[in-house]
């Protein structure tokens, strides 16, 4: 079990998302339910974003389905510590798939959407991912570490330690579920640059 | 070398029919009633028609539906094979993803416990399978072993018409 954090983490989910999109501007991104989808929507609303509103634990399997269907595209699963812990068996599933999935785990140590209850424990997702067969996995706590993270060997996992939201989760996703699917389908089938 | 049985012929016809309907991805969790189908998915051999149907083993049935849903959102056709016990795990993803976003996925579900004379762990879900599907208005068809292609077509037609997950129920082993 990893050592407890000594300081309040400085990274935010928005900062992690911005870094990933700077690296992969056309990435199809599947975000887990609750504040994660809301914060992705407010940080960068794009047709490539598949905002899950329910089905906790399903962001990685859904992202994997997209990656299997569109192997030429970068696909990001934007997961949380609670949702990954709910469905930890996605790790060997993704590792065995042969896809280049980028699995981003934003870890604030809590179920923030439901009131900040603690998740099971601070878990070492890097060790778990590597044991499952991911080709790279990196833990980051600061902006400098985030910028330097080498995730080129995929499937890859980024374990980002984040702090609680300073300004709340922002607006709810305004697109209907059907609109979200239509946008993602069009984005997934757009010719790549 | 595998001995050809009536069951495996049904399984092969069923999978061929899926390929003919444009299915490119199969995932799921095995059941003994679906042994022949899973064997063909794992080892298609020199069956060129099955070569286009990729198989991804899943650790749990809801994750299998998640994978298939992602592929369907991208515009592919994907099928999930499972035992009826797996519907319990799957209810969350079906009700909060597939039925909310109108992302229909074809489910091939074995029916353990359909006659009340199976292993005890299948009694409860086996007795209520059709009620469970009706409760969530999931269209369902029982596989006719003498006409797998017809049963597959019926299940897909129901799915396309209602835009809800459609269930092809397998009562006898294939």
Q: Does A190 touch chain B (CB under 8 A)?
A: no
Per-residue pLDDT of chain B (174 residues; tens, 9 = 90+): 444 555 589 999 999 999 999 999 999 999 999 999 999 999 999 999 999 999 999 999 999 999 999 999 999 999 999 999 999 999 999 999 999 999 999 999 999 999 888 999 998 999 999 999 999 999 999 999 999 999 999 999 999 999 999 999 999 999
Q: What is the CA radius of gyration of chain B?
A: 15
Burial of A170 (0-12, 13-18, 19+ CB in 10 A): middle
Local structure of B83: helix, strand or coil: strand
Domain B6-170 CATH superfamily: Thiamin diphosphate (ThDP)-binding fold, Pyr/PP domains (3.40.50.970)
Query: In 3D, which of A39, A94, A89, A36 has the Cα closest to residue A65?
Result: A94
Q: Cα distance from B68 to chain A (closest Cα, Å)? A: 6
Interface contacts (A, B; CB < 8 Å): 113
Query: In 3D, which of A58, A60, A79, A74 has the Cα closest to residue A13?
Result: A79
Spell out which residues of chain A touch residue B76, defining contact as CB-CB under 8 Å: 69
Q: Where are the domains of chain B?
A: 6-170
Q: Does A178 touch chain B (CB under 8 A)?
A: yes
Spell out which residues of chain A touch residue B75, defining contact as CB-CB under 8 Å: 69, 185, 188-189
Q: Cα distance from A3 to chain B (closest Cα, Å)? A: 30
Cα angle at B154 between B151 and B160, to 5 degrees? 140
Q: Cα distance from B39 to chain A (closest Cα, Å)? A: 19
Domain A13-188 has CATH 3.40.50.970: yes
Phi, psi (rounded to 5 degrees) for A157: -125, 130
- Token pair for residue A165? 């939201």
Query: In 3D, which of A111, A35, A116 has the Cα closest to residue A78?
Result: A35
CB contact under 8 A, B67 and A69: no
- Token pair for residue B116? 């009340």
Give me the torsion for CA of A31, A141, A23, A178, rounded to 10°.
10
Residues of B with CB under 8 A from a CB of A: 24-25, 54, 56-60, 62-76, 78, 92-93, 95-97, 100-103
- Token pair for residue A39? 């914060």
Q: B75 near A189, Cβ under 8 Å? A: yes
pTM: 0.95
pLDDT in tens, A38-86: 999 999 999 999 999 999 999 999 999 999 999 999 999 999 999 999 9
Q: How confident is the model at residue A193 (pLDDT cuts 50, 70, 90)?
A: low
């Amino acid at each position: 079990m990893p050592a407890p954090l000594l300081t309040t983490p400085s990274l935010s989910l928005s900062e992690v998302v911005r870094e990933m999109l700077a690296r992969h501007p056309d990435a199809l991104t599947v975000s887990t339910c609750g504040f994660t989808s809301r914060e992705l929507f407010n940080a960068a609303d794009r047709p490539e974003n598949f905002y899950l509103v329910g089905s906790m634990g399903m962001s990685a399997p859904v992202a994997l389905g997209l990656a299997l269907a569109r192997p030429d595209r970068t696909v990001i699963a934007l997961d949380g510590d609670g949702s990954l812990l709910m469905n930890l068996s996605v790790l060997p599933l993704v590792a065995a798939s042969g896809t280049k999935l980028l699995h981003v785990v934003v870890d604030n140590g809590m179920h923030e959407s439901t009131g900040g209850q603690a998740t099971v424990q601070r878990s070492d997702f890097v060790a778990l991912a590597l044991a499952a067969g991911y080709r790279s996995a990196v833990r980051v706590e600061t902006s400098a570490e985030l910028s330097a993270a080498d995730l080129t060997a995929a499937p890859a996992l980024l374990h980002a330690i984040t702090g609680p939201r300073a300004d709340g989760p922002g607006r709810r996703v305004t697109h209907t579920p059907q609109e979200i699917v239509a946008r993602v389908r069009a984005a997934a089938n757009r010719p790549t640059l | 070398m595998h001995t050809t049985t009536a069951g495996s012929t049904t399984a092969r016809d069923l999978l061929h029919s899926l390929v003919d309907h444009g299915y490119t991805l199969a995932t799921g969790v095995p059941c003994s009633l679906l042994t022949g189908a899973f064997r063909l998915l794992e080892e298609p051999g020199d069956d060129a028609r099955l070569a286009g149907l990729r198989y991804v083993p899943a650790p749990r049935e809801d994750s299998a539906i998640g994978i298939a849903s992602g592929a369907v959102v991208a515009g592919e056709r994907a099928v999930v094979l499972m035992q009826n016990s797996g519907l319990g795990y799957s209810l969350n993803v079906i009700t909060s993803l597939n039925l909310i976003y109108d992302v229909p996925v074809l489910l091939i579900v074995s029916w353990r416990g359909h006659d009340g004379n199976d292993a005890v762990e299948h009694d409860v879900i086996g007795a209520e399978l059709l009620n469970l599907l009706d409760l969530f208005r999931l269209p369902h068809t029982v596989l006719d072993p003498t006409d797998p292609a017809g049963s597959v077509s019926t299940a897909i037609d129901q799915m396309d018409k209602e835009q809800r997950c459609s269930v092809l129920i397998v009562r006898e082993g294939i």
